[in-house]
Amino acid sequence: MARINSVAELEELRKGILSKIEPDKPCIAICAGIACLGLGNDRVISAFEEEIRKQSLETKVDIRATGCHGFCEKGPIVVIYPEEICYLEVTPEDVPEIITQTVVGKKVIDRLIYTDPNTGAKAVHQFEIPFYKNQSRLLIGNNPKINPKSIEDYLAIGGYSALAKALFAMNPEQVLEEIKKANLRGRGGGGFPAGSKWETTRNAPGEEKYVIVNAHEGEPGAFMDRALFTGNPHLVLEGLIIGAYTIGSHQGFIYTRHDTPQLRENIDIALSEAKEYGLLGKNILGSGFNFNVEVHLDVGIFVSGESSALMRSIEGKAPEPRPKYIRTSVSGIWNKPSNLNNVETWANVPQIINNGSKWYSSIGTERSKGTKLISLSGNICNTGVVEVPMGTSLKEIIYNFGGGIPNGKKLKAVHFGGPMGGSIPESLIDSPLDFDVLSKLGTSLGAGDMLVLDEDNCMVEVARYFLDFLSGESCGKCVPCREGIRQMLKILTDITDGKGKEGDIELLEEIAGVVGEAALCSLGRSVPKPLLSMLKYFRDEYEAHIKDKRCPALFCKELKKGEL
Amino acid sequence: MSPTYEKADSGSGERRRSGKETMDNDRIEQILNEHQGQAGSLIKVLMEIQEQNHWLPREVLVKVSEKLEVPLSRVLRIATFYKTFSLTPKGRHEIHVCTGTACKVRGAQRVLDEVQELTGIKPGETDSDLKFSLETVNCQGCCSLGPMIEVDGKTHSKISPAEIADALKKYE
Ligand SMILES: Cc1cc2nc3c(=O)[nH]c(=O)nc-3n(C[C@H](O)[C@H](O)[C@H](O)COP(=O)(O)O)c2cc1C
Ligand code: FES
């Protein structure tokens, strides 16, 4: 493929790709997201390839292995175009029938489509399934249409048009203004306005500046960044290049997971394809703008997702955070100004540039704009990736998309943000998805991992679990974090073992207060959050463990004996 | 409701497999030569060697130190800081039990207890026959499959403690 040297050539290429597409030609899109892979979808894909060969349909039917479709609970998922018939829980044994009946015969196989477990109603198309209905899948909705290993599929849906617009129709100041007006807030946990962060880096002294994608996704229960980045790598890359142009950076880094081979592979392919087409490297699209990207791998410790630790890690050093008064936007990698954003934050950029900040800020709540990807997991019927406008109520997410709580159990709590987040009780689930509302309630939206807990979960045990996790994932550099977590963990372990003492809760609150104030980085400073939120809403459970030696959820082994 | 094949082992074939085979020195040399004198590539180099060899022998670390011109103390610090690096040989089969939140809520602890019982080793350990190594991992990103374990990169989803013995029987 020859490189593209102008917007006209880009549009020419796009036209060429679109003209090759035959709208009536059947295409089988098979989800190859991480959950579907775990369910053996590689065997489903081979079965399709084999059956197509057997029936000599190679020229008549296309196959597309795609990124995550979101409805992980029902994988492997297969969508048959052009009718967009959606089949769930497909096995290799189903494949010959799908080809003969549906692809060739144009008949729907009843057994493979979605059936509502409550009403028995059937849904033939993805958009009719309650899980998908009423979501706003602006970021992840294109996944079924894209082979993430092919830049052509991304170009076919309008990819890189925002980059062309930014480079040729806008100057960096105008792009920055648009991002600021859109009020795009960071999706990695803190919700910091992306525009002002970009501006700080842009204005920081020094010629050399860096832009970075944080694709570490270390929070247990968070899998939306992986789903988005693996499924549509060019979307994130396009956002990054636009950011680099705006900030005045010529070198970018992607910091990503070492343990997700499909993610690594798709990123590598996307980078080399973008380079080949002249969308990366020297003189991008003939604009005179140069930009390169390098991939770095995390090595399996949670703290390396923290901004300053991540930058140390890119330098090849141990990922130890440093005090926040030195801002990484001004002094980051090799002490050069470095702008770090989350995968989802970057992915929002192209649509803001394409549609304008006015359009973007019409979605969401007053201070939280756009849509948010949520990884929904725990005691929920439909585990998966959900994308909804900010402001959607938690109740809607749990019941409309999540399908409610399995096994007839009662909902007890919703936990956001993993070990650095907080829990809120069932009584507050009418609350909207909103950075500020959730943080006022004592939790935080975090990266968007929403853990649903039913009545069988012990809230003392959940807090103990998070501290246990953090004790292994803290870098150990500062004393309040290193020792504080250990002591809190010890007390909580005692409580779950039935050895809780009068005064333990107060002591926990005191240590939590010190760690929260004195720790070096946000990991340590967030340590108290899960615990304090639980003491706020579930204090009686802690007291029952200590005073009555009773675990109300009947979870703690040592305390079960005390039950009637 | 659950598909019938979900208990079967599966997973993408390209995931690494483990084994006792020692790494061929040519490959190490090749990795080191690619990064000669580049101290900033330390983590990348260790990672590549770990992925190929499944552990980092001391003599290899010494070589890394020399080639990349990084003090051995720093090589050791990085190699011991990150959980992904192992300074001891791994078993022929690596078992990863996910103890991420979603898997935990769905009973990962009982699964882990059972794996420990069957293999006689704790997380971080390798048995004396070098058959199994056991690790806990945090969220593999497929929470809908929990509780789940991975053996040599193959996923065993929605596994119950009772099914583990059967799942491990296949491995020699
Ligand atoms: C211990 C710790 C781990 C973190 N892990 C991640 C992560 O995996 N991904 C991420 O995007 N942000 C993570 N963050 C937040 C980052 O430090 C940073 O705020 C974020 O990447 C900035 O991007 P945003 O402004 O787009 O949200 C973590 C923070 C802490 C304290
Ligand atoms: S918690 Fe186990 S895969 Fe996510």
Instruction: For residue range A284-293, list pLDDT tens digits in order.
Output: 999 999 999 9
Interface confidence, given as ipTM, is 0.87
pLDDT per residue rounded down to tens, chain B (172 residues): 333 333 333 333 333 334 444 567 788 888 999 999 888 889 889 999 998 888 999 999 999 999 999 999 999 999 988 888 999 999 999 999 999 999 999 999 999 999 999 999 999 999 999 999 999 998 988 999 999 999 998 999 999 999 999 999 989 8
Measured distance CA(A425)–CA(A341) in Å, rounded:
31
Chosen domain end from A362, A394, A422: A362
**Over the stretch A209-226, which tens digit does the pLDDT of each residue have?**
999 999 999 988 999 999
Residues of B in contact with A300 (CB under 8 A): 82-84
Q: Which of residues 81-120 of B touch A (CB under 8 A)?
A: 81-85, 100-102, 104-106
A136 lies in the same domain as A29 = yes
**Given the structure tokens 């997702």, which residue do they identify?**
A305
A246 lies in the same domain as A315 = yes
How many angstroms separate the alpha carbon of residue A256 from the centre of ligand 1? 12
A341 lies in the same domain as A217 = yes
Chosen domain end from A362, A393, A411: A362
Report CB contact under 8 Å: A35, B81.
Answer: no
**Over the stretch A406-462, which tens digit does the pLDDT of each residue have?**
999 999 999 999 999 999 999 999 999 999 999 999 999 999 999 999 999 999 999
Measured distance CA(B3)–CA(A74) in Å, rounded:
9
Question: CB of A474 within 8 Å of any CB in chain B?
Answer: no
A467: domain CATH number?
1.20.1440.230
**Helix, strand, or coil (residue A133):** coil
How many angstroms separate the alpha carbon of residue A303 from the centre of ligand 1? 9
How many angstroms separate the alpha carbon of residue A386 from the centre of ligand 2? 16
Is A13 within the bounds of a domain?
A: no
A349 lies in the same domain as A393 = no
Backbone angles phi, psi at A334, to 5 degrees: 45, 35
A209 lies in the same domain as A291 = yes
Q: What is the pLDDT of residue B16?
A: 38
Is A2 within the bounds of a domain?
A: no
A47 lies in the same domain as A175 = no
A217 lies in the same domain as A243 = yes
Q: What is the pLDDT of residue B52?
A: 85
For A436, the domain range is 371-454
**Over the stretch A83-139, which tens digit does the pLDDT of each residue have?**
999 999 999 999 999 999 999 999 999 999 999 988 899 999 999 999 999 999 999
Residue A190 has pLDDT above 50, yes or no: yes
Number of domains in chain A: 4
Question: Residues A243-251: what's their mean pLDDT?
Answer: 98
Question: CB of B49 within 8 Å of any CB in chain A?
Answer: no
Report CA-CA distances (Å) from A281 to A104, A245, A275, A485, A545.
44, 12, 6, 45, 61
Is A309 within the bounds of a domain?
A: yes
**Over the stretch A501-542, which tens digit does the pLDDT of each residue have?**
999 999 999 999 999 999 988 899 999 999 999 999 999 999
Is A216 within the bounds of a domain?
A: yes
Q: Which two tokens stand for residue A31?
A: 């989800």
Is A6 within the bounds of a domain?
A: no
Omega of the bond prior to A82 within 30 degrees of 0, cis? yes
Q: What is the pLDDT of residue A324?
A: 75
Ligand 1 mutation target, pool A196, A214, A324, A373, most atoms within 8 A of CB: A214
A436 lies in the same domain as A506 = no
Q: Which two tokens stand for residue A303?
A: 């703290």
The ligand placed nearest to the CA atom of residue A229 is 1
Residues of B in contact with A222 (CB under 8 A): 139
Backbone angles phi, psi at A144, to 5 degrees: -65, -15
How many other C-beta atoms are found inside a 10 Å radius of the C-beta of residue A27? 16
Amino acid of residue A277: Y
| Nearest CB to A383; choose among B1, B3, B102 | B102
Chosen domain end from A439, A454, A469: A454
Report CB contact under 8 Å: A300, B84.
Answer: yes
Question: Residues A340-350: what's their mean pLDDT?
Answer: 98
Report CB contact under 8 Å: B83, A300.
Answer: yes
Backbone angles phi, psi at A430, to 5 degrees: -80, -5
Report CB contact under 8 Å: B138, A220.
Answer: yes
A426: domain CATH number?
3.10.20.600
**Over the stretch A20-61, which tens digit does the pLDDT of each residue have?**
999 999 999 999 999 999 998 999 999 999 999 999 999 999
A299: domain CATH number?
3.40.50.11540
Report the nearest atom of ligand 2 relative to the CA of B101.
Answer: 1
Q: What is the pLDDT of residue A1?
A: 63
Q: What is the pLDDT of residue A560?
A: 67
A263 lies in the same domain as A329 = yes
Ligand 2 mutation target, pool B96, B143, B150, most atoms within 8 A of CB: B143
Measured distance CA(A78)–CA(A386) in Å, rounded:
18
Is A431 within the bounds of a domain?
A: yes
Is A306 within the bounds of a domain?
A: yes
Q: What is the pLDDT of residue B11?
A: 38
**Helix, strand, or coil (residue B34):** helix
A168 lies in the same domain as A314 = yes
The CA-based diameter of chain A, rounded to the nearest angstrom, is 77
A446 lies in the same domain as A465 = no
How many angstroms separate the alpha carbon of residue A250 from the centre of ligand 2? 37
A116: domain CATH number?
3.40.30.10
Question: CB of A422 within 8 Å of any CB in chain B?
Answer: no
Report the nearest atom of ligand 2 relative to the CA of A221.
Answer: 4
Is A101 within the bounds of a domain?
A: yes
User: For residues A31 and A144, is the Cβ–Cβ distance under 8 A?
Assistant: yes
A250 lies in the same domain as A141 = no
